[in-house]
Structure 1
Amino acid sequence: MTATLNVIAALLTIGFGLFGFLAPAFTANALDLAPTKSTMGLSEMRASVGGLFVVTGAAVLWLNTPMAYAMLGVVYAGAALGRFVSVFLDNPPMTKALTFGGIELALAIWLIFANISKTP
């Protein structure tokens, strides 16, 4: 069961990343980000919201070790931390911020606690 859920989490990571990588304008709109006078924002979406997650998820699947899955959990923990700090400091749209943060937190908790005990 752990192996199956780990693979699902890595595939979700790739799926989330593909939105930013292949549809940066859609992703920017979903995240309430607006383009400015250049297309640098689209480049940033493809890089940090897209490619970073696609390659991280693919690397975790390729390495296929408990530590790799635990580190993916650490990545999600960082995202959740940033999201929840934003809730207190930035007053974002609460439903959207808590939904995204909740998904990130759930993935972080699962990936870290299901895998850290299995690392050497």
Structure 2
Amino acid sequence: MNLLTIFKMIAALGTAATGFLALVRPTAIYGFTGLIAEGPRGISEIRAIFGALFIALGIAPFLFGATAYRVLGLGYLTIALVRLVSIFIDRSTSSSNLISLAIEIVFGIILILR
């Protein structure tokens, strides 16, 4: 197992861990997303999208291999691109937004490398 594979595994596990946190503590995501769930419907949405989807995306590479790592990487790079555009359009230069952008770029690059 080489260093790149280890980094890919860390990125995938980090994705799944983020999902797990959102699933079990949906109000905790406010600190790194700025999103506040309004009522039970909002909590349900956070659990489903930030929770279940991130868990599935993080676990997928361990089930489906190299292609799933690249798909996850493409997802991160797409999120980073949209976030970058949003930073300028919405003037959203908060430190948490910039940190998220950096993580998404790093994870995305690591995950798409062969």
Corresponding letter in the other structure for 2:13: L
**2: distance between equivalents of 1:55 and 1:71?**
12
Q: How far off is 1:83 after superposition?
A: 1.4
The equivalent residue for 2:90 is 90
- In structure 1, the residue matched to 2:78 is 78
Q: Report if the CA contact (8 A) 2:16-2:54 is conserved.
A: yes
Separation of aligned partners in 1, 2:62 and 2:68: 8
**Would the aligned equivalents of 1:17 and 1:51 in 2 still touch at CA under 8 Å?**
yes
In structure 2, the partner of 1:3 is 5
> Deviations along 1:57-102, whole A, 9 cap, x unmatched?
11111112x2211111001112112211210111224211110011
- 1:74–1:24 CA distance, 2 compared to 1 (3 A): same
The answer to whether structure 1 residue 108 and structure 2 residue 108 are counterparts is: yes
Gapped regions of structure 2 (runs ≥ 5): none
Q: Counterpart in 2 of 1:118?
A: none
* Identical columns (%): 32
| Separation in 1, partners of 2:68, 2:18 | 18
Tell me the secondary structure at the aligned position of residue 39 of structure 1.
Answer: helix
Q: Distance in 1 between the 2:7 and 2:21 partners? A: 21
Q: TM-score, normalised by structure 1?
A: 0.83
- Measured in 2, the distance between the counterparts of 1:29 and 1:9 equals 20
Q: 1:32-65 CA deviation, whole Å, 9 max, x = no partner?
A: 22333x321111111111110101111111112x
Question: In the alignment, does 2:66 pair up with 1:69?
Answer: no
List runs of 5+ in structure 1 lacking aligned partners.
Answer: 116-120
Determine whether 1:40 maps to 2:41. Answer: yes
**Mapping 1:39-58, distance limit 5 Å:** 39-58=40-59
Aligned length: 112
